Homo-oligomer: A and B are copies of this chain.
Amino acid sequence: MFPGRVTETEMTLMLMNPKMGLATLSTPSLVLDKAVLAANAERMTSHLKDQAIRFRPHMKTAKSIDVARMAIAGNFGGVIVSTIREAEYFADHGISDITYGVSVLPDKLPRIAALVRRGVKVGVILDQCAVAEQISREAVRFGITLDVLIELDSGERRSGVTADSAELIEIGHVLERLPGTRLQGVLTHAGQSYQCRTIADIERIAEQERLSVVTAAERLRAAGLRVDVVSVGSTPTVTHGTNFEGLTEVRCGVYMFGDMMQSQIYSCSRDDIALSVLATVIGHRPALNMALIDAGALALSKDRSTGAPGLAEDIGYGLVMDMHCERRIGDVKVGHVYQEHGMLVSSGPFPFDALPVGSRIRILPNHACLTAAMYDGYNVVSGADDSGIEFWPRVNGW
């Protein structure tokens, strides 16, 4: 861009990282295709529009207010988050209805109470009577009343009570009886949908997820308790769910970006993947039939979800596309990762001519949530148009 001897002024301009295009962006960098993101957001919003339910996007994947604005467009404006830091960040950026989607404990209360005192409507989830009692005591100490959802286990076997359990009703009564808490409803996440390998299986899990909370809500109501929110969600079950009867809310998050894992379990096509890592080929190893790139375990994460049994293709640590993400390069994938090196491999002779040293690639990740978490923000392009790259910050950490 600056032929001949570089002057001090030109040097300063270079270091300002002007993001003049993918060819000059420093690598590795995280790239987000805004056109694809917009289509993904709109598709999900439309899919849910005809249902009598509210859609609450999960921001754990994107952790960006710019992305959140696209996800809540056309919806009621609330989000769900996976960390308190996300809750604080989205509140700072004007989102006023936030569910914290991990079992709450009293040690999280000071920061949550600060948000509530600022006027943010914060929902929390729990699945234990003893915790409900502790949360009540702490909420009273902080002078707040917390909206609480009882978490259900709809088959994931992670957290939550079962819909038929005695504890469900006990927790409901505790929340209703004690000060500082307000029973808002029930919530579940059928994370086992990620293990599905057919759409029929996903539909079955979606119905199991729905039945879990609908049954729980009926039992709580039969016990004289008020249940306003009946909430489900995971990207596969929401994408393929057709029966939303009895639900008031659905949630999901990774659909915004998609990833190779989601494309292999029918949540999206490969063309719907909005997130990728820009990397540079830094070496050729003809004797090993491999090439090296400057993106390794930190740039891509070590998630190996496409290595799970029953998936169409194991893409190692990422699938390799050309710089504008228009076509795949042969069957090249990231076969191995070191901290900062990645090794490109191919099943046949490696296409060294297509990937000269210094050339740039885009890598579609296994798992968008984990790959994005390695970066402080997104370099935003729109399809092959990289003429005005914006930078959208992310909020990492806790």
Report which A residues bind B (CB closer than 8 A). Answer: 2, 4-6, 11, 14-15, 24, 26-29, 60, 82-84, 102-103, 105-108, 110-111, 113-114, 117, 127-128, 130-131, 134, 140-143, 157-159, 191, 280, 282-285, 288, 292, 294, 297-299, 301-304, 338-341, 343, 357-358, 369-370, 373-376, 396-398
Binding site of A, secondary structure by majority: helix, strand, loop or mixed? loop
A317 to chain B, nearest CB (A): 11
What are 13 A-B residue pairs whose CB atoms fall within 8 Å in the complex? A2-B141, A6-B142, A15-B111, A26-B84, A26-B398, A102-B282, A105-B282, A157-B288, A191-B338, A298-B370, A302-B370, A373-B374, A375-B397
Please report the C-alpha to C-alpha distance between residue A373 and residue B396 in the assembled complex, in whole angstroms.
11
- Given known contacts A302-B301, A302-B302, A83 and B143 CB-to-CB distance under 8 angstroms: no
Residue of B nearest to A61 (CB): B339
Alpha-carbon separation in the docked complex, A114 to B10 (Å): 11
Contact of B280 with A128 in the complex, beta carbons under 8 Å: no
Q: Which B residue's beta carbon lies closest to that of A358?
A: B105
Further pairs besides A15-B110, A27-B107, A302-B303: 9, Cβ < 8 Å:
A2-B141, A15-B111, A26-B111, A27-B398, A60-B340, A102-B340, A128-B284, A158-B341, A159-B283
Residues A113 and B11 in contact, CB atoms below 8 Å apart: yes
What distance in Å separates the Cβ of A201 from its nearest Cβ neighbour in chain B? 20
In Å, the complex CA distance between A178 and B313 comes to 47
**Known: A114-B11, A131-B357, A142-B11. Contact between A339 and B82, CB under 8 A?**
yes
Closest to A106 in B: B358
